[in-house]
């Protein structure tokens, strides 16, 4: 099984299931966990009521219980919830934590909460259900003036070249740039494709058009997608091998670029869908 499969959740009947080995990888990823820990410390106080949607094996819910009065930990996957239950039971703050088996989009909490944390994130918020879960929770679960973490996600794009051809074969596919994967050569400046602000409902339509100044000459056949996460006030996460690494996606058609050109990048993509089935195009709109 490849790393790409390892990081890809399975959604039979919309139930997200990651293997335990991936949960272990995520927990061991210090760049990820330290950003979340700092965000939680920043926003929680002794009277806070906190909810984590998709608590996994429980690392962030048990951490939040040190700083909050009450914690609701929601997990849909039964096997993962069993691991979380054991970890919660072993916590010195177990009496503050209530584990709830259920779907984050429709689970009912006993009360509205001050802070919601949901890390159902993927590059550009495409594969994972971050946006539909947020839209549901924002209305049903969050107190007026409450905080949803992460605060925002900024999606960036560049166009360039990736080697999809080897000898006589070509495989054009989206690929996360994990450590050890060949990098892409970028040929344009990076630009903001979209900003997802988790303080108001977010559109699930992530389609966009972005003009990109061309820097070097050559044929472009891909775009590189990057997401910058405002995990909490003053706390930024920009991807790692376990979560949201920059990702190369093939363009539908190659395009020849020259310095001074401007290229129009177009993406047709929906939240909580399949990045591999999205369409990405680029065309020159101005010659230097």
- Percent of the chain past pLDDT 90, that is, above it, reads 88
Q: Which of the four pLDDT bands, split at 50, 70 and 90, describes residue 16?
A: low
CATH number for the domain formed by residue range(s) 152-286? 2.70.160.11
Q: Is the dihedral of CA 249, 255, 261, 267 positive or negative?
A: negative
End-to-end, the C-alpha distance of the chain in Å comes to: 46
Mean pLDDT, range 170-180, rounded to an integer: 94
Q: What is the pLDDT of residue 25?
A: 85
Name which of 158, 119, 118 is nearest 246 in CA terms: 158
Preceding peptide of 150 cis, ω within 30°: yes
Domain locations along the chain: 3-149, 152-286
Preceding peptide of 19 cis, ω within 30°: no
- Average pLDDT, whole number, for the chain? 93
Weakest mean pLDDT among 19-33, 108-122, 147-161, 247-261: 19-33
Cβ atoms of 280 and 264 closer than 8 Å: no
Mean pLDDT, range 204-221, rounded to an integer: 97
Q: What is the pLDDT of residue 250?
A: 98
The pTM assigned to this predicted structure is 0.93
- Reported as a single tens digit per residue, the pLDDT across 228-248 is 999 999 999 999 998 999 999
Q: What is the pLDDT of residue 162?
A: 98
Q: What is the pLDDT of residue 230?
A: 98
Kindly report the CATH class assigned to 3-149: alpha beta
């Amino acid at each position: 099984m490849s790393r790409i499969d390892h990081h890809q959740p399975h959604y039979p009947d919309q139930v997200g299931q990651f293997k335990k080995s991936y949960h272990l990888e995520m927990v061991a990823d210090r760049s990820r966990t330290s950003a979340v820990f700092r965000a939680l410390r920043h926003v929680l106080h002794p009277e806070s009521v906190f909810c984590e949607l998709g608590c996994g094996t429980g690392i962030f819910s048990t951490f939040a219980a040190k700083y909050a009065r009450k914690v609701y930990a929601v997990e849909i996957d039964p096997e993962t919830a069993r691991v979380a239950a054991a970890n919660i039971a072993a916590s010195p703050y177990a009496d503050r934590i209530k584990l709830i088996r259920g779907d984050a989009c429709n689970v009912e909490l006993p009360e509205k909460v001050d802070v919601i944390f949901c890390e159902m994130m993927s590059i550009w918020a495409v594969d994972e259900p971050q946006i539909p879960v947020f839209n549901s929770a924002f209305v049903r679960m969050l107190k007026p003036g409450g905080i949803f973490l992460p605060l925002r996600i900024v999606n960036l794009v560049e166009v360039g070249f990736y080697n999809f051809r080897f000898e006589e074969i070509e495989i054009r596919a989206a690929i996360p740039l994990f450590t050890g994967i060949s990098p892409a050569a970028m040929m344009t400046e990076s630009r903001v494709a979209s900003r997802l602000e988790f303080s108001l409902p977010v559109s699930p339509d992530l389609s966009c058009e972005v003009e990109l100044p061309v820097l070097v000459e050559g044929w472009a056949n891909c775009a590189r997608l990057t997401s910058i996460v405002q995990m909490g006030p003053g706390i930024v996460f920009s991807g790692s091998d376990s979560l949201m690494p920059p990702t190369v996606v093939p363009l539908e058609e190659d395009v020849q670029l020259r310095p001074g050109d401007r290229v129009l990048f177009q993406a047709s993509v929906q939240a909580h869908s399949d990045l591999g089935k999205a369409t990405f195009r680029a065309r020159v709109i101005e010659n230097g």
